[in-house]
């Protein structure tokens, strides 16, 4: 009789674990960050500008955001790419693609982290960037100039836009970032982590893609969300619910 009383509790625990897993996985997919210019939920935007256009079927950015971020000194953040003289167009193209990914992508949920910053409540951290994207970014920027290795902090903002700190010296990107990994992982405080997997593997995020071929980052987000969810269940939610069920069973048997 005791087993008949407690079996439903064990079944309930199993169902709760499955339900929590599905919900947690869903929370990591097709989401927008809680940040300055992001939409609350992703959706279609038919007229996303230029390099942001791959995300037009499902975007976290608006048309106006996509237009503004293509400017040399965008009103989105008053950030000046040309802080050490004119940045090479090929180099600037990568930074615009990087910003489009940041503002528009709904596929970064597995790497979203909470932050306590005045202009955003969330950021992404250690996104597995495809090595091909990192290599081409570095190759196209190595002869442009900058004065810092971390662009998230340490600027002089007294003029309203970013200027180099007094002690900083303008040198080539290659001087500040001797390797592709140094650039991609360091420039935005480890927003990216260069992956060991290449494009087409389903394991790394592409900074840009051909929308006619679909969005490859959807598969990548699904893979990592599922992996994270499995780990959470194995090391947290599942054992906790099972322990609870066993405690209830012992209590009822006692």
**What's the token pair of residue 70?**
């293509």
Tokens standing for 91?
A: 């180099």
Chain Cα centroid distance, residue 63: 20
What would the 3-class secondary structure string for 45-87 be?
Answer: CCCCCHHHHHHCCCECCCHHHHHHCCCCEECCCCEECCECECC
* pLDDT for the residue numbered 1: 45
pLDDT (tens, 9 = 90+) of the chain, 254 residues, equals 444 554 544 444 444 444 443 334 458 899 999 878 889 999 999 888 888 999 999 999 999 998 888 887 777 888 999 999 999 999 999 999 999 999 999 999 999 998 888 778 888 999 999 999 999 999 999 999 999 999 999 999 999 999 999 999 999 999 999 999 999 999 999 999 999 999 999 999 999 898 888 899 999 999 999 887 665 555 555 555 545 545 555 455 55
What is the separation, in whole angstroms, between the first and last Cα of the chain? 13
Cβ neighbours of residue 126 closer than 8 Å, sequence gap 6 or more: 111, 190, 191, 192, 193
pLDDT at 14: 44
pLDDT of residue 232: 54
pLDDT at res. 36: 82
- Secondary structure (DSSP) of 139-201: HHHTTSEES-S-TTS--B-TTSS-B--TT---EEHHHH-SSHHHHHHHTTTSSEEE-SS-TTS
Q: What predicted TM-score, i.e. pTM, was given to this entire model?
A: 0.79
As a whole number of angstroms, the distance between CA 195 and CA 201 comes to 11
Torsion angle of C-alpha atoms 153, 155, 156, 160, degrees rounded to 10: -80
Scan for tokens 């009383």, then name that residue: 5
Under 8 Å between Cβ of 165 and 154: yes
How many residues comprise the chain?
254
DSSP state of 16: H
Strand 127-129 and strand 192-194: pairing?
Answer: parallel
């Amino acid at each position: 009789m005791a087993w008949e009383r407690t079996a439903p509790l064990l079944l309930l625990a199993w169902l709760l674990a499955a339900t929590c897993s599905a919900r947690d996985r869903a929370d990591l997919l097709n989401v927008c960050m809680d940040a300055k210019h992001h939409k609350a939920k992703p959706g279609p935007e038919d007229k996303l500008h230029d390099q942001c256009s791959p995300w037009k079927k499902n975007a976290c950015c608006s048309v106006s955001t996509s237009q503004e971020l293509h400017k040399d000194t965008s009103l989105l953040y008053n950030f000046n790419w040309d802080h050490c003289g004119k940045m090479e167009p090929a180099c600037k193209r990568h930074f615009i693609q990087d910003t489009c990914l940041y503002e528009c992508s709904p596929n970064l949920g597995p790497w979203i982290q909470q932050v306590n910053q005045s202009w955003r409540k969330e950021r992404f951290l250690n996104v597995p960037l495809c090595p091909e994207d990192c290599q081409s970014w570095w190759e196209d920027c190595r002869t442009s100039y900058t004065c810092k290795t971390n662009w998230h902090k340490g600027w002089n903002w007294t003029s309203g836009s970013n200027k180099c700190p007094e002690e900083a010296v303008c040198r080539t990107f290659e001087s500040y970032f001797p390797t592709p990994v140094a650039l991609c992982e360091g420039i935005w405080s480890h927003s990216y982590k260069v992956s060991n997997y290449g494009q087409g593997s389903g394991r790394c995020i592409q900074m840009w893609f051909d929308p006619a071929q679909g969005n490859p980052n959807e598969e990548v987000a699904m893979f990592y969300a599922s992996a994270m969810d499995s780990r959470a269940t194995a090391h947290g939610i599942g054992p906790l619910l099972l322990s609870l069920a066993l405690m209830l069973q012992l209590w009822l048997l006692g």
